[in-house]
């Protein structure tokens, strides 16, 4: 915690502890969901998609990983930085992105008294505020960067009362290819359910143009090269995600969701580890999570 030890904090300690334990629980739950979904994916017997039982686990994974940012944000305020509030306030992580970050951050600092001290000189208070600003930016950079927007997009799609559907024709395909290339598929009929981000951008791409051998898929957070064609479906990839464009739909591979889930967990865990020196029991658990995720992530093949 950045807040100096001599500052009042006893009123928010119970909330701090609850948020820390809840984040650990949520990280462990995401790890469990990935393990169960991956096993079920390998054993799935649907001829060209996934069985309902597999989607039950997939929905659960997507929902839980997309809420990780909310759990983590509570820890940023109450645990990593600290506050002099005389009683805890409810935290809501909504609408915080690069388009409104500065204004939203000011509101958050004011509401939760972040960067404020009750003691010290004006110079010390200014230095502390600057440090809180720098740390807040660093702790949240990967959240607001857009690297994990796709997880929130798909979770919001589910929340709009629409079930997920995907595709990969299993007959004539190996099990390993099915696991790598099964993809979630969205059509123009789903466009109204998405914000102007990745899925809408995929659906707006001209299919004939995307079919050209030298076509590159470019989004604000990366460039994706054509790596595979399967029937009329074109697969675009970088190190993190495999997107798919077909004549009447677009999407991304299921393994890309798993990859992104692992990456988000790791970014959160590494931030916590670097900020919690001296918390032996907590660090042991976080390092265990890190080892499990890195081991499983290294087994994951996107292409």
pTM, full prediction: 0.94
Compute the average pLDDT of residues 13-29.
96
Highest mean pLDDT among 59-68, 164-173, 192-201, 215-224: 59-68
> Span 7-26, mean pLDDT?
94
Q: Tens of pLDDT along 142-161? A: 999 888 999 999 999 998 88
Is the pLDDT score of 236 beyond 70? yes
221: confidence class by pLDDT, cuts 50, 70, 90: low
For residue 25, the Cα-to-chain-centroid distance in whole angstroms is: 16
Q: What's the residue count for the chain? A: 303
pLDDT of 196 over the 80 cut: no
- pLDDT at residue 19 is higher than 80: yes
**pLDDT value of position 198:** 86
Mean pLDDT for the stretch of residues 233-239: 88
- pLDDT given for residue 50 in this prediction: 97
What is the structure's pLDDT at 26? 98
Q: Which of 265, 282, 274 is nearest to 27 (CA)?
A: 265
Asked if the model's pLDDT at residue 287 lies above 90, the reply is: yes
Domain ranges of the chain: 10-150+258-299, 164-256
Supply the pLDDT for residue 125: 97
Give residue 239's pLDDT band: very low, low, confident or very high (50, 70, 90).
Answer: confident
Q: What does pLDDT average to over the chain?
A: 92
């Amino acid at each position: 915690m950045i807040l100096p030890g001599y500052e009042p904090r006893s009123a928010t300690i119970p909330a701090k502890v609850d948020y820390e334990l809840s984040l650990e629980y949520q990280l462990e739950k995401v790890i469990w969901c990935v393990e169960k979904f991956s096993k079920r994916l390998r054993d799935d017997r649907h001829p060209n998609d996934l069985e309902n039982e597999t989607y039950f686990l997939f929905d659960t994974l997507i929902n839980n990983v997309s809420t990780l940012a909310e759990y983590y944000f509570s820890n940023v305020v109450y645990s990593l930085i600290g506050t002099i509030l005389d009683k805890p306030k409810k935290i809501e992580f909504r609408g915080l992105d690069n388009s409104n970050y500065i204004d939203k951050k000011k509101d958050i600092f004011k509401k939760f008294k972040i960067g404020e001290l009750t003691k010290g000189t004006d110079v010390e208070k200014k230095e502390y505020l600057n440090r809180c600003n720098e740390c807040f930016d660093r702790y949240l950079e990967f959240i607001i960067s857009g690297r994990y927007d796709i997880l929130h997009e798909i979770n919001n799609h589910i929340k709009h009362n629409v079930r997920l559907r995907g595709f990969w024709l299993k007959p004539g395909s190996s099990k390993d290819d099915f696991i790598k290339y099964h993809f979630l598929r969205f059509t123009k009929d789903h466009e109204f359910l998405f914000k102007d981000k990745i899925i809408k951008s995929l659906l707006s791409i001209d299919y004939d143009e995307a079919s050209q051998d030298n076509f590159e898929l470019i989004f604000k957070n990366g460039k994706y090269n054509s790596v595979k064609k399967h029937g009329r479906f074109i697969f675009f990839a970088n190190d993190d995600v495999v997107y798919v464009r077909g004549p009447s739909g677009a999407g991304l591979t299921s393994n890309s969701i798993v990859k992104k889930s692992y990456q988000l967990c790791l970014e959160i865990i590494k931030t916590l580890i670097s900020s919690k020196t001296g918390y032996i029991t907590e660090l042991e658990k976080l390092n265990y999570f890190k080892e499990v995720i890195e081991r499983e992530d290294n087994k994951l093949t996107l292409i």
